Amino acid sequence: MNVAAAIFVDGLIDASWLFIVAVGLTLVFGVLNILNFAHGSLFAVGAYTAASAVGWYYGGNFGPAFLGYFVMLGAALLVAVAMGPLLERGVLRLFYRRDEVVIVLVTYALFLILEDATKLIWGVNPYYAYEPYGLLGNVSVFGLSYVGYDFALVGLALLTGVLLWLGLNRTISGKVVLAVIHDRDISGAMGVNVTRVFVVAFTFGVFLAALGGAFTAPKISVQPGISISVILLSFAVVVIGGLGSVEGAAIAALIVGLARAAAIHLMPSAELFIVYLVMALVLALRPEGLFQRTTTRKI
Amino acid sequence: MTGRVGTLGAALLAFAALALLGRILPHWFVLVATLAFAKGLVALGLVVLMRGGLVSFGQGIFFCAGGYAAGLAMRSLGVTDAVLLVALGGALALILGLIIAPLLAGYRGIFFATLTLALSMIAYGILDKTYSLGGSDGLNLQAPTFLTYQPQTSQEVSYALFVLASLLTAVAAALCRIHFDSIRGLLSLAARDNEIRVEYLGASVRWVSGTNFIISSLLGGIGGALAALSLGHIDPDFAFWTTSGEFVFLAILSGYASVTAVFVAAVLLELVRSFSSQYFPNTWQGALGIFLLLVILFLPEGLGSLVRRRRRTAVKPAPKPVESVK
């Protein structure tokens, strides 16, 4: 019983940050039709920026401790505004007419470049941003003690999901984005500024990656290599849920989170293996992922 | 028929020239070229797939299977003969390919790519934690022998490996050329353009894709065994997605028009990698990324298109593109 409860809670916590990152990846795929391998690097950039900002904030004694969370949010926003338009307008735009596999390779090249760029800027030594982690005290669930921050993260994931869903389905600009996802040529013909939707959607995707990174930073040591594990996991989540589906990303993040937690508790050596096993099983049964509508084959 | 004989003859000539060149070229270049040929073989397999409109992001699984087959045969069975080890590597990958092909032959596009990626990452995950196979440290291989020939110095070993790699490369390239120009090979191109039309012609796209996948698995295994022998080491990273990504890059860099371009591209990439890791030790990944971007931007059809373009303009004007019915 205790183990089951631990798996459930750990899986939920794991799923929360995974969802935030993966939903950004799925949004970018939905709108721009790009499977962005550099998404993990943007997560890393977000984590590094937040760790530096948090270190600066708590080092200087600027104000009340809880404002550190807003510093982290600001760091994520900064990364998004700086990197999103730069990458989309500066690089990706040049490759839109090409095969989707070629664009995957382009983002892979971006991943390599960003990986070295982060090493050049922040060095190879780990960063710790532990201050915000302890602020919310401890919570006891099913007789197990957890750090309150972890549950705040679950709340943040829920908030992100709900806001994103409402934004896409209940606002005019959200519906414009959905129209572009559905058919970019027709939306363009109807007067939608597709270019602007692309820039905004990509920047928002970068923001979600950086947000995930920024709020995960206090839990981990921020060091080179985190981007790879993040892209591998969020990639699996997005494929399981169905490329471009927000609901799918939520369910898949839960599945992957629970599967990983179960593996860690019961069979630690199978951690990465189990994620990809789930992915292969889902793909074998439903190649489009759990939540993707089957599209008719274009002749 | 003369075309086939001509292709094989050209391959043998190329092999003889390479074997001679290996004697003249500096030692480091021979090492780099051997590894490049090994990787080029895997990329050639990917080109076979790409002609049928499929891209696998998991060729690393066959690369890895070939490498581990060679490593384990050397360690457990005491086989040191390079020719036999490469054959074993190819055989294991081929068996793996025969098992996987029927499962994958029905998938297309990004789903095929992600499923192959998932399979290779499963292999990586298993090998990384299988401590009897060395875990994440992998296995070391000793210097191989070559049939009856037992090289004494490391220079001789690497030259002999280079000759073996050149031979395999030349033969594989010639056979692939012949395959590409055969009816089944041309059907791949047709399937890439329009699958339904191919089905209406009475051919099976599933069968074409499956065959291509099996060919690519065999080439992947041979390349993996060669790479393991030339590096003297094998670890789970052979199946990691960055390795597979490199093969995709090679295949895109060369394009699917020319088989020779694959190996030129492989040598070029290995050279860029060695030079950038020597001159920018901390930023060589970034340098490689920039190189990648520039190639994709300025050479959309790959290196092979350079050769083809020149040949066409020299011999006959390019045929008018037929309006495709979509």
At residue A15, what is the residue type?
Answer: A
What is the SS3 assignment for A222?
A: strand
Place of tokens 């597979």: B244
- Chain B residues at the A interface, defined by Cβ less than 8 Å, are 55, 57, 103, 107, 109-111, 113-115, 118-119, 121-122, 124-126, 128-129, 194, 196, 241-242, 245, 248-249, 252, 282-286, 288-290, 292-293, 296-297, 300, 326
Spatial separation of the C-alpha atoms in residues B176 and B168, rounded to whole Å: 12
- For chain B, the domain total comes to 1
B317 to each of A207, B186, B255, B305, B308, how far by Cα in Å? 51, 22, 21, 15, 12
Cβ-defined contact of B252 to A101 (cutoff 8 Å): yes
Chain B residues in contact with A270 by the CB 8 A cut-off are: 125, 129
Which residue of chain A has the CA closest to B195?
A: A299
Contact map slice: A 161-180 vs B, CB within 8 A: none
Check CB contact under 8 Å for A287 and B109: no
The answer, for A119 touching chain B at a CB cutoff of 8 Å, is yes
Query: Is B291 a domain residue?
Result: no
Residue type, A164: L
**Angle, nearest 10°, between helix axes B205-231 and B27-51?**
170
Contact present, A131 and A52 (Cβ < 8 Å)? no
Is A277 at the interface with chain B, CB within 8 A?
yes
CA dist., res. B111 & res. B100, Å (int): 15
B194 with A269: Cβ contact below 8 A: no
Contact B212, B49 (CB under 8 A): yes
> B238 and B60 in contact (C-beta within 8 Å)?
yes
Q: How far apart are CA A187 and CA A181, in angstroms?
A: 9
Confirm or reject contact between A123 and chain B (CB < 8 A).
no
Asked if residue B22 belongs to a domain, the reply is yes
Of B110, B248, B285, the CB nearest to A100: B110
Q: Which of A93, A96, A98, A101 is the mutation pick for testing B, counting most B CBs within 10 A?
A: A101
Kindly tell me the sign of the dihedral angle through the C-alpha atoms of B169, B171, B176, B181.
Answer: positive
pLDDT for A295 equals: 52
The answer as to whether B259 is a domain residue is no
Q: What is the CA radius of gyration of chain B?
A: 20
CB–CB contact B194 A299 (8 Å) = yes
Give the contacts of A63 (CB within 8 A, at least 6 positions apart).
Answer: none
Say if B70 falls within a structural domain: yes
User: How many CA atoms, within 13 angstroms, populate the side-chain half-sphere of residue B253?
Assistant: 27
Partner-chain residue, chosen from B119, B282, B289, that has the shortest CB–CB distance to A110: B289
Q: Is residue B42 situated within a structural domain?
A: yes
pLDDT at B149: 82
- Among A211, A47, A208, smallest CA distance to A129 is for A47
Which of B172, B235, B230, B228 is closest to B41 using CA atoms? B172
Residue of B nearest to A285 (CA): B103
* CA of A244 vs chain B CAs: smallest distance (Å): 13
Burial A191-218 (b: 16+ CB within 10 A, else e): ebebeebbbbbbbbbbbbbbbbbbbbbb
Strands (E), A11-143: 138-141
**Res B69: pLDDT:** 93
pLDDT for res B104:
83
Q: What angle do CA B161, B166, B167 make, to 5 degrees?
A: 100
Cβ neighbours of residue B239 closer than 8 Å, sequence gap 6 or more: B60, B61, B63, B64, B120, B121, B123, B124, B127
Residues A195 and A88 sit within 8 Å (Cβ to Cβ): no
In a domain, B155, yes or no: yes
Q: Which two tokens stand for residue B198?
A: 């191919």
DSSP3 helix / strand / coil % (chain B, rounded to 5): 80, 0, 20
Q: Which of A272, A225, A235, A236 is nearest to A41 (CA)?
A: A225
Choose among B75, B92, B94: nearest CA to B217.
B94
CA distance readout (Å), A140 to A13, A152, A289 = 14, 14, 36
Structure confidence at residue B316 (pLDDT): 47
For residue A251, give how far its alpha carbon lies from the nearest alpha carbon of chain B (Å).
19
In angstroms, what CA-CA distances link B19 with A286, B25, B159, B225, B298? 50, 10, 9, 20, 33
Low-confidence ranges of chain B (pLDDT < 70): 1-2, 307-326
Task: Kindly report the number of other CB atoms within 10 A of residue B197's CB atom.
Answer: 15
Are the Cβ atoms of A272 and B111 closer than 8 angstroms?
A: no
Contact A109, B290 (CB under 8 A): yes
- Paired with A147 in beta bridges are A138
Does B107 sit within 8 Å of A287, measured CB to CB?
A: yes
Question: What letter does residue B137 receive in the DSSP assignment?
Answer: G
In contact, A259 and A14? CB cutoff 8 Å: no
CB B269 within 8 A of CB B315: no
Give domain status of residue B282, yes or no: no
**Which site among A273, A277, A278, A281 would you substitute to test the B interface, given the most B Cβ atoms closer than 10 Å to its Cβ?**
A273
CA distance to partner chain B, nearest, from residue A112 (Å) = 5
Under 8 Å between Cβ of B265 and B252? no
Do the beta carbons of residue A45 and residue A183 sit within 8 Å? Answer: no
The identity of residue A66, as a single letter, is: F
Q: E strand or H helix at B233, and its extent?
A: strand B233-234
| DSSP symbol at B238 | G
Residues of A whose CB is below 8 A from B196? 297, 299
Which residue positions in chain A have pLDDT lower than 50? 296-299
Q: Render pLDDT for B90-136 as a digit per residue (tens, 0 to 9).
A: 999 999 999 998 888 777 777 788 788 888 888 888 888 888 888 88
Taking one residue from A and the other from B, the number of pairs with CB-CB distance under 8 angstroms is 111
In chain B, which residue's Cα lies nearest the Cα of A124? B282
Rg (CA), chain A: 19
SS3 A297: coil
A95 touches chain B (CB under 8 A): yes
Structure tokens at B141: 């291989």
Question: Is residue B64 helix, strand or coil?
Answer: helix
Domain containing B142: what range? 2-239
- Interchain CB distance below 8 Å, A272 and B124: yes
**B288 Cα to chain A: minimum distance (Å):** 8
CB distance A94–B252 less than 8 Å? no
Residues of B in contact with A105 (CB under 8 A): 245, 248-249, 252, 292, 296
Handedness of CA A81, A85, A90, A94 (dihedral sign): positive
Give pLDDT, residue B94. 95
CA nearest B10: which of B162, B176, B184, B163? B176
- Quick: pLDDT tens for B20-63: 888 888 888 899 999 999 999 999 999 999 888 888 988 999 99
The token duo for A282 is 């889902």
Q: Are A233 and A242 in contact (CB under 8 A)?
A: no
- Look up residue B186 and give its two tokens: 């041309």
User: Which CA distances in Å does B162 have to A111, B31, B72, B104?
Assistant: 33, 7, 22, 34
Q: Which chain A residue has the Cα nearest residue B295?
A: A106
Question: Does B122 sit within 8 Å of A277, measured CB to CB?
Answer: yes
Q: Is B290 contained in some domain?
A: no
**Average pLDDT taken over every residue of chain B:** 85
